[in-house]
């Protein structure tokens, strides 16, 4: 099952798949990293978009508890489901607004 910690789980470079996914999903709380993903054309890749959809399991409380910054991380996962946002994140003013939103929760939207 997605995200379960298990001693039987295979390791990749010494880490479980959950640990790797946790590290990656936490990187999404950085708006500049989202811009990097967009510039690399990953946000145009249907397989990558499907992977972001798969990572929605982090919205479940039993996985959210592992997130260092759950608010910004889960917000980024939510926004990345929107095609418009995946294109807009290339705009520096959108990045700045998102940075402000992540630093000061509940202060507005990225649009």
**Residue 46 counted as domain residue:** yes
**Residue 5 counted as domain residue:** no
- The CATH number of the domain holding residue 66 is 1.10.10.1340
pLDDT tens column, 63-91: 999 999 999 999 999 999 999 999 999 99
Helix runs in the chain, H state only? 17-27, 31-39, 46-54, 61-64, 70-79, 83-88, 92-103
Q: What's the predicted TM-score (pTM) here?
A: 0.81
**Residue 2 counted as domain residue:** no
**Residue 4 counted as domain residue:** no
Joined tokens for residue 70: 């759950």
Whether 110 contacts 79, CB under 8 Å? yes
Into how many domains does the chain fold?
A: 1
pLDDT bin (cut points 50, 70, 90) of residue 105 is low
Range(s) of the domain holding residue 77: 11-103
Residue 111: pLDDT above 90? Answer: no
**Residue 50 counted as domain residue:** yes
The gap from C-alpha 8 to its chain's centroid, in whole angstroms, comes to 26
Q: How far is CA 97 from CA 18, 34, 104, 109, in A?
A: 30, 13, 10, 8
Whether 77 contacts 59, CB under 8 Å? yes
């Amino acid at each position: 099952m997605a995200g379960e910690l298990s001693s039987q789980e295979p390791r990749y470079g010494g880490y479980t798949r959950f640990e790797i996914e946790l590290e990656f999903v936490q990187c999404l709380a950085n708006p500049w990293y989202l811009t990097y993903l967009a510039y690399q054309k990953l946000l145009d890749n249907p397989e990558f978009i499907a992977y972001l959809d798969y990572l929605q399991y982090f919205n479940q409380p039993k996985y959210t508890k592992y997130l260092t910054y759950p608010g910004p991380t889960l917000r980024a996962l939510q926004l990345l489901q929107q095609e418009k946002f995946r294109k807009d994140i290339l705009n520096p003013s959108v990045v700045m607004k998102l940075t402000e939103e992540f630093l000061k929760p509940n202060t507005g939207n990225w649009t």
